[in-house]
Structure 1
């Protein structure tokens, strides 16, 4: 085969591979910005009146047992639900929190700001799995991961959502972010995969109160 023809065929193969990759990325992005019809949602935006979740025992990435409301009282908190075996939207959620983490020094005011990734698959979201998940996104000390007991997962997901609609399985979990004030009160529910700027604006407002 002439060298020119080989070169041309190689360029075509590269273009087709690149096009397939771009199509896959576009499909993932479309899924990220489109509302999930299967995800359980309550009201979006400001939570009025604010809600305190029932206290629940969590195990964090270091293996330490911590009560949810004690953890939330350590500062203004943005909470997301993830599971470490997820290969679809959870990496996007991790990237979102990673971007917010970079902005934390800019949004601290009267209260510290922290991030909490809540594992919703206790059978797999062990402390080593949580540590590996945090390391994947270069989480710093203001970003914690923790998992409740299996018997508490669904109750927590319902309380966070504020909805009475039936829960889907964990693969259909919400990608909303839930923001708590420093008194452990739920004050704001985002849309799915909110913009970094919007999330930082809410955290800034809560940290100033």
Structure 2
């Protein structure tokens, strides 16, 4: 795997530094508070995110379980935020575009959840979506019940605190697998694109492996050969990796055939 594809494996310290840089624009709390929020966020990985009822921009009820079957990106925002939340959401939209170009248009879903209830109601969330310029059919802006906010944010490891100017809160995108389990957290007002795309590739590749059909095997090969190009800031299919993979499989097959042939010859010699 080439180095750009391994950005997501940076030590937790690097992720914490990214979090601190992003959080500096959103809060003035001491670093120890941010570190604690980071620990809570990381501890939530592996959580079943649950099946909460929320309302979309039209007021229609949806449930988190409605998003099972595909990876899901989840961000928390509040509509009274006029700088950081809109900026973070716009950057996420850029990252989503790159991810879709790499993985396909319909491979994952996105939701932004308003945690400042009752103010982040469906009308406010719909207005927020318009404000940041998002009209994506696979991206929902949702409002939870006020009574569910604490439990919902706890499942995602999302920390926030009311202040005189709004809220201090983590800048995080949670990546949830197709079974509703929190798989990875990505931090910051902006981040290296592979930190978002690589976990999605892993989840989609795992799904292809479990299905084990000809189409899923081919899908897994394409996912493996899709690599990040730091010069363009996007992804491309590197067919040389496909040929390397094919050559490796062919070589292993040839070795196995030679070993099997020699084993059979040895058996015949012993019988003679």
Asked if the contact 1:97/1:115 (under 8 Å) is kept, the reply is no
Mapped partners of 1:61, 1:196: distance in 2: 30
Describe the superposition over 1:25-76 as per-residue Cα deviations: whole angstroms up to 9, x where unpaired: xxx978349996445233666966x2212321111112110111223x1521
Q: Contact conserved, 2:44 with 2:156, CA < 8 A, in 1?
A: no
Matched, 1:200 2:193: no
1:66 matched to 2:62? The reply is yes
Change (3 A) 1:208 1:82: same
Q: What is the TM-score of this pair, normalised by structure 1?
A: 0.71
C-alpha distance in structure 2 between counterparts of 1:192 and 1:125, whole Å: 22
Query: Per chain length, whose mean CA-contact separation is higher, i.e. which structure has more relative contact order (CA < 8 Å, sep 6+)?
Result: 1
2:117 corresponds, among 113, 118, 122, to 122
Structure 1 or 2: more helix by fraction: 2
The alignment's C-alpha RMSD in Å is 3.1
Which of these two proteins has the greater Rg computed from alpha carbons? 2
| Whole-angstrom CA distance in 2 between matches of 1:196 and 1:151 | 35
TM-score of the two chains, using structure 2 as the length reference: 0.56
> Gaps spanning 5+ residues in structure 2: where?
1-20, 207-272
Count, aligned residues = 177
Q: Output the CA distance in 2 between the equivalents of 1:125 and 1:47.
A: 24
Q: Secondary structure at the match of 1:62?
A: coil
